[in-house]
Chain A
Amino acid sequence: MTTSVVQTATPPSGRTPARSSDRSRAENRLGQKLVAPAIILMLIVTAFPMLRAIWLSVYDYSLTAPDDRSFTGVDNYVTALTDPLFWQTTGVTVLYMVVTVGIELVIGFIFAMVMHRVIFARGVVRTSILIPYGIITVVSGFAWQFAFSAQNGFVNGWLPFIGADFNWFGETPSAVIAICISEIWKTTPFMSLLLLAGLAQVSEDMIEAAKVDGATWWQRLWKVIIPNMRSAIMVAVLFRALDAYRIFDNIFVMTNGAQQTESISFLTYRQTIEQFQLGLGSALSVLLFLSVLLIAYLIIKVFRVDLAAARQEG
């Protein structure tokens, strides 16, 4: 990894790059040999399924009628992209992503500050904040499903403005809220963990200097701390956004896709696993992959962060 970054670093302008020495070339070769097994393994477990999905996506192929398989070119993609259901689920998925990541960023930042600054019972505070992340998503989904249940849940009883028999999973907006809450509860600790790493990188000297210059707490937060942990925030948002876009477990457990709560992953699952439509399902998963790439690209653009620079290697 480090090797490649050094190699791609821009040479001083107006000069040809210095010839690398025999020793560094030998080291490079050794390095390549050492990572080769890992790369081959990665290719087997990730590249093969990906290429296979692309291959399958140009066929009309049902697992239950393998003999009827036929080449259809881009038909599956056309079907998916012209189907209102695809766009509706994409919309819902984007909604899940924006709402959960937005709320998690705020709460996660507060938690990170608490974990960073806490003086007493440090271990206990940090552990209790991180517990939800240690819980399996399916378990979290069931726990919140029971909590929101109209028959035996506590949520209706606790919220004064909601009737005791209100069915959270009976209509789209309330079902989406329930799913988002489970998702936020479960993954906020992950966000705060990444942000905590960023907070730790902000030099105390700079904060001290700002304090001496008379900056208020609010100014120190916005002018010193946040700008200096921009790359950590970007990494946190990037990881969580990509995760959130692929949301599946909570929907599967809580509504099973009813009331228009389906995400793109869920739609893909239904075509591939339940309907055995390998062709159409693969086309959807390729589209899902492309959307994830697009989101990653956009987030990196928005934050204007050069990751190499962030590692002080540029």
Chain B
Amino acid sequence: MAVGVLASTTLAACGGSGTPVLNWYVNPDGVATFEKYAEECSTGDYEIAVQVLPSSATDQRVQLARRLAAEDSSTDLMNLDPVFVAEFANAGWLTEVPEEKATEITDGEDYLQGAAETVVWDDKVFAIPLWANTQVLWYRKSLAEAAGLDMSQPVTWQQVTEAAAGNGGTVGVQANRYEGYVVWLNALVQGAGGEIVGDTEAGKDASVEIDSDAGRQAAEVIQALVDSGAAQSDLSVSNEGTVLGPMWSDPGEFMVNWTFVYENYRGLIGESGGPADEQAFEDLGWARYPATVEGQPSKPPIGGIDIGVGAYSEHPEWAMEAAECVTSTEAQVDLALEDGLMPSTNSAYDQVVAEGSYPADLIELWRTSVDEGGPRPKSAYYAMISGALQATWHSPTSVDPDRTPTESADYLQAVLRGEALL
């Protein structure tokens, strides 16, 4: 894979007319749209060439990091998962976004706050949000009705778990030993008003805060789900894909998952793994991410892709210009309509609503979720934090509110100090 990418980079760099080539490293979602904009954003001065990264986020990070650590001048633009921005910026691998654009991103007018927060490190802006992902609660309306749950009001994890358990349904979450489990855990902790780690700018001296009431409340939610009988049988290896199936076998499920779910089910109408017909599809409901604590607003997870400009690029100004071009409102709307990847700005959201291909209330729910969501810890050592949490909180069946938060805090502290292996 690496050799292939290297070879294609070399070829692209040597290609034809002598026009400088800017390499744009993209993750494999929505590549066709990226290629379209690579062409449209190429000018007489430079051409943009799309280079596809591996599919797993970990591999994307490793490949980009190894290039940048070697001061690779051919890494001009790159698609970054939000959790990598802090790590890359702290290492000095990203070019700071010019002030004008930076202000536009952070002034809270057009860019949604949850997306804007992901590109800020140390009070500076290091990337431009392209699309923003978020999780909502997906459910079968008939199941919620049978449980007598009023879905027009914010619901809690406790209510959802009890409603599913009492009516033969299940609750779909992501709890395999992978990043998705940390996404869930982070949302639970933030929903209880806490943080996994605070003062992340301090790097390895960040304060580990998961051993707190919020940490214990998060553990209680997990334990209650495990004990309730509403957990799915493959809980300990569940991911975004495995939880999709149970929705359409009666009585259905409550599921937290990303925005792709709507497009996914709509495309599966009448097929296996999807709703039986249009009418069954109408039974699909959506609501804000469940609250950890009653009365306290939930913090929906944030994902998506930000575009960064490599610090060692030979043409940083052109690369920045290209980055602004490929993240334009038009490009964001195209990504939303063609690939189901939702925008990071209000203006793009308005256009997507106007297109009418998604229900207006769903679009509003996504927009609010991104705006009010909570990012995962922004730290140069995020990979360690995530790894330490996965090691101590997995398997979900072993989570104990009295023990797990304390143990994971001790272990995370030791890992950050370099006193324990991960």
* CB-CB nearest in chain B for A75: B418
Bound CA–CA A235/B359 (angstroms): 70
Q: B interface, by DSSP: helix, strand, loop or mixed?
A: helix
From B88, B380, B418, A79 is in contact (CB under 8 Å) with B418
Q: Determine whether A276 belongs to the interface, using a CB cutoff of 8 Å to chain B.
A: yes
List residues of chain B with CB within 8 A of the CB of A65: 90-91, 203-204, 380-381
Which B336-395 residues have C-beta < 8 A from chain A?
A: 380-381, 383-384, 387
Category for how many chain A residues contact B: 20 to 34
Of A63, A258, A276, A284, the most chain B CB neighbours within 10 A belong to: A276
Query: Cβ of A280 and Cβ of B421 under 8 Å apart?
Result: yes
From A79, A270, A274, B419 is in contact (CB under 8 Å) with A79
Given contacts A75-B418, A80-B421, contact A274 B62 (CB under 8 A): yes
Q: Determine whether A4 belongs to the interface, using a CB cutoff of 8 Å to chain B.
A: no
Q: Determine whether A118 belongs to the interface, using a CB cutoff of 8 Å to chain B.
A: no
The interface bits of chain A over 46-89 (1 if a CB of B lies within 8 angstroms of the residue's CB, else 0) are 00000000000000101111101000100110011001011000
Query: Cβ of A64 and Cβ of B62 under 8 Å apart?
Result: no
Bound CA–CA A284/B88 (angstroms): 25
Q: Determine whether B288 belongs to the interface, using a CB cutoff of 8 Å to chain A.
A: no
Query: Cβ of A267 and Cβ of B380 under 8 Å apart?
Result: no
* CB-CB nearest in chain A for B420: A83
Bound CA–CA A284/B422 (angstroms): 12
List residues of chain B with CB within 8 A of the CB of A98: none
Bound CA–CA A75/B420 (angstroms): 11
The interface bits of chain B over 76-100 (1 if a CB of A lies within 8 angstroms of the residue's CB, else 0) are 0000000000011011100000000
List residues of chain A with CB within 8 A of the CB of B204: 65, 68
From B65, B203, B387, B419, A63 is in contact (CB under 8 Å) with B65
* CB-CB nearest in chain B for A268: B421
The interface bits of chain B over 89-129 (1 if a CB of A lies within 8 angstroms of the residue's CB, else 0) are 01110000000000000000000000000000000000000
Given contacts A258-B177, A275-B387, contact A63 B418 (CB under 8 A): no
Query: Cβ of B384 and Cβ of A275 under 8 Å apart?
Result: yes
Query: Cβ of B88 and Cβ of A274 under 8 Å apart?
Result: no
List residues of chain B with CB within 8 A of the CB of A64: 65, 87-88, 90-91, 380-381
List residues of chain B with CB within 8 A of the CB of A276: 65, 69, 383
Given contacts A63-B65, A63-B69, contact A86 B421 (CB under 8 A): yes
Please give the distance in Å from A96's CB to the nearest CB on chain B: 19
* CB-CB nearest in chain A for B93: A64
Please give the distance in Å from B341's CB to the nearest CB on chain A: 26
Q: Determine whether B58 belongs to the interface, using a CB cutoff of 8 Å to chain A.
A: yes
Q: Determine whether A149 belongs to the interface, using a CB cutoff of 8 Å to chain B.
A: no
Bound CA–CA A279/B418 (angstroms): 10
Please give the distance in Å from B175's CB to the nearest CB on chain A: 14
Bound CA–CA A276/B88 (angstroms): 12
From B65, B203, B421, A85 is in contact (CB under 8 Å) with B421
List 19 additional A-B contacts (Cβ < 8 Å) besides A68-B203, A79-B419, A274-B387: A62-B381, A63-B91, A64-B87, A64-B91, A65-B91, A66-B91, A66-B92, A68-B204, A79-B418, A79-B420, A83-B421, A85-B420, A85-B421, A86-B421, A273-B62, A274-B383, A276-B383, A280-B418, A284-B421
| Contacts A/B (CB < 8 Å), 9 sampled | A63-B91, A64-B91, A75-B418, A79-B418, A79-B419, A85-B420, A275-B384, A275-B387, A276-B65
